[in-house]
Amino acid sequence: MDLVSFSWETRPLTILRAQPRLGHPDAPAAGFGLLIGGGPAAAESGATFSARDPFLEQDWGQVALASPRDVDAAVRAANRAFADGRWSGMLAGERARILLRLADLIERDAALLTSQQVFENGKLVSEMLPGTTALAGDCRFFAGLAETHGGMTVPPTRHGFTTFTLKEPIGVVGAITPWNTPLGLLGWKLFPALAAGNTIVIKPSEITPTSTLMLAQLCLEAGVPPGVVNVVTGGSETGAALVEHPDVAKIAFTGSTATGQAIASRAALRSARVTLELGGKSPQVVFADADLDRAVNGVMAGIFAATGQSCMAGSRVLVEDQVFDRFCDMLAERGSSMIAGDPLDPQTQLGPLASKAQLEKVLSYFAIAAAEGLECVTGSHRLERTGYFVAPTVYRDVPPDSRIAREEIFGPVVALFRFRNEEEAVVLANDTAFGLAAGIWTQDVGRAHRLLHRIRAGTIWVNNYRIIGHTLPFGGYSQSGTGREMGAHALDAYTETKSVWVDTGNDLEFRTGQQEI
């Protein structure tokens, strides 16, 4: 297999669909290796898996399938890079300068990084491009924090001491990411991990491995020393090997709740640090006094954008009784007239689902809804065209205990519920095992404030939805996760805190029995 290491010469292979492209009969099939110790490597077994375009339903490349031995090689490389201080030993300002260069490179290659992700998961270029640009901003944010994230001097509790804390990198971070926003969600882990001086082994989703390799290559170009950023590609076995590896000090995971819980329990056995960003079944609460046109837009953005494949999808929409029927008609009309098509076409509004497995999952929920006797307003079928497309789907008056109401579908499928008063809205909104996000639509500012305190979710949007930015933390309550990513405190999740007592020599008597533990 000829390995693509994303050097300048190989870059034309990854250019936009309009040009001869990966998978095109005229283009050479590409092979993608692992990135270990700063260079591309084949899997030791020689095994590969296919990269597939969900819009064309075509394979366009072969990707190395990392075994536990490959994972071990990557972790050893990361461990060596951590131990010799080539990164952690740099001044924080030097690391910041390299991260700022990386941000510039991300901007330089934004179109390439974007199209690569679109080939992988079919997400619309109109959404992916701003996301890639935002990635550069995220990188700069953490570059800025590198020099300011320090410990603090604290008043000593005994005479004769100086006491302070130090913030130190944890060691080797294992980052495991999903396919829906491959680079955005990687950046939330990679940038703070690097800013704090850690090294990293990344296990991207098997559906979106190549864009991650591309970003890792940019890290090298920016001046991140070899071995600091490593990538192992593969599926659950590759990820499990990373979780089990004794030299991985922290696992940063984004993905489904079931996988996250399994990972957390394995990591707990060896006291590895863990942060989890998991699934959701987020409510949007629409009151009768809301600007309904804006609310429909927000609900569309919440559940039909990204073809519903978003952790923060607003998949449960609670509408006040007086406007329920009108809102339902507005949403059905807008949803059913969305333009489905090529995700690289800026006019397209609805892209394919990211994989055949995801298509089958969503279709299985259509069957569940039919079996549960749910009232379908629009959708509930596959689109008759090439690509893993399904119709935007609306179910109304969904019983709160139905599976459509309770389970994360990760597709353009929305359940509408009716409520009669504020109290009922709060009870319905909180009637979920998740707690990632919520939207509130009302023109009554007092009501908005009452609800934003009472709804249990990590992010609340009032009269908007699905907006994020690096200055605010993101994460979930209950089964939506553990810890927060982004925001000024994100570096805490990538550092250990060391407390230091310096005896200043003023009090030399032998101390015992005084609050020691």
Residue 408 DSSP code? -
361: helix, strand or coil = helix
Q: Does 279 bind ligand NAD (CB under 6 A)?
A: yes
- Bridge partners for 58 per DSSP: 53
Residues 194-233 that bind ligand NAD (CB under 6 A): 203, 205-206
CA distance 10 to 157: 61
Q: Which listed range, 13-21, 106-114, 177-185, 373-381, lies at the site for ligand NAD (CB under 6 A)?
A: 177-185
Question: Which residue number has the CB closest to ligand NAD?
Answer: 239
Q: Closer to ligand NAD by CB, 88 or 205: give it.
A: 205
Q: Does 256 bind ligand NAD (CB under 6 A)?
A: yes
Q: Closer to ligand NAD by CB, 189 or 334: give it.
A: 189
Residue from 41, 243, 306, 318 in contact with ligand NAD (CB under 6 A): 243
Q: Closer to ligand NAD by CB, 217 or 238: give it.
A: 238
Are the C-beta atoms of residues 390 and 354 closer than 8 Å to each other? Answer: no
Q: Which listed range, 89-97, 174-182, 299-307, 342-350, lies at the site for ligand NAD (CB under 6 A)?
A: 174-182
Q: Does 302 bind ligand NAD (CB under 6 A)?
A: no
Q: Closest separation between CB of residue 231 and ligand NAD, Å?
A: 12
Q: In what order do the strands lie in the sheet with 413-419?
A: 375-378, 393-396, 413-419, 316-320, 283-286, 437-441, 459-462
320: helix, strand or coil = strand
CA distance 126 to 349: 9
Residue from 171, 197, 280, 298 in contact with ligand NAD (CB under 6 A): 280
Residue from 131, 178, 192, 302 in contact with ligand NAD (CB under 6 A): 178
Q: Does 54 bind ligand NAD (CB under 6 A)?
A: no
> Both ends of the chain: CA-CA distance in Å?
59
Q: Closest separation between CB of residue 205 and ligand NAD, Å?
A: 4
The vertex-114 CA angle with 110 and 120, nearest 5°, equals 150
CA distance 474 to 276: 11
Could you give the string, one character per residue 362-391, with x where binding to ligand NAD holds by CB under 6 A and - elsewhere?
A: ------------------------------
Please indicate whether residue 147 is annotated as part of the active site. Answer: no
Which residue matches tokens 């953490």?
Answer: 142
Q: Does 176 bind ligand NAD (CB under 6 A)?
A: yes
Q: Closer to ligand NAD by CB, 76 or 203: give it.
A: 203
Residue 6 — left, alpha, or beta (φ > 0 → left; ψ -120 to 50 → alpha)?
left
Residue from 112, 481, 482, 486 in contact with ligand NAD (CB under 6 A): 481
As given in the structure block, the two tokens for residue 66 are 């990392």
Residue from 235, 422, 444, 462 in contact with ligand NAD (CB under 6 A): 235
> Cβ neighbours of residue 142 under 8 Å, at least 6 residues apart?
99, 191, 192, 194, 195, 470, 490, 491
Q: Which listed range, 139-147, 162-170, 253-261, 323-331, lies at the site for ligand NAD (CB under 6 A)?
A: 253-261
Q: What radius of gyration do the chain's Cα atoms show?
A: 24
User: How far apart, in Å, are the Cα atoms of 138 and each of 97, 190, 204, 254, 494?
Assistant: 14, 10, 19, 17, 16
Q: Closer to ligand NAD by CB, 63 or 448: give it.
A: 63
Q: Closest separation between CB of residue 245 and ligand NAD, Å?
A: 11
Length of the chain: 517
The HSE-up count of residue 295 (CA atoms within 13 Å, CB side) is 27
Residues 401-430 that bind ligand NAD (CB under 6 A): 408, 410
Could you give the string, one character per residue 89-128, with x where binding to ligand NAD holds by CB under 6 A and - elsewhere?
A: ----------------------------------------
**Site size for ligand NAD, by CB under 6 A?**
30
Please indicate whether residue 311 is annotated as part of the active site. Answer: yes
> Cβ neighbours of residue 230 under 8 Å, at least 6 residues apart?
34, 35, 36, 37, 74, 75, 77, 78, 199, 200, 201, 202, 216
Residue of 139, 219, 311, 328 marked catalytic: 311
Q: Closest separation between CB of residue 502 and ligand NAD, Å?
A: 41
Q: Which listed range, 216-224, 235-243, 388-396, 463-471, lies at the site for ligand NAD (CB under 6 A)?
A: 235-243
Q: Helical H runs in 162-285?
A: 182-195, 209-222, 236-244, 257-268
Residue of 120, 206, 277, 485 marked catalytic: 277
Quote the strand ranges of 23-96, DSSP E: 30-32, 34-36, 39-41, 48-53, 58-64
Residue from 124, 311, 317, 440 in contact with ligand NAD (CB under 6 A): 311
Catalytic residues: 277, 311
Q: Which residues of the shown chain bind ligand NAD in the complex (CB under 6 A)?
A: 176-180, 185, 203, 205-206, 235-236, 239-240, 243, 254-256, 259, 262-263, 277-280, 311, 408, 410, 436, 476, 481
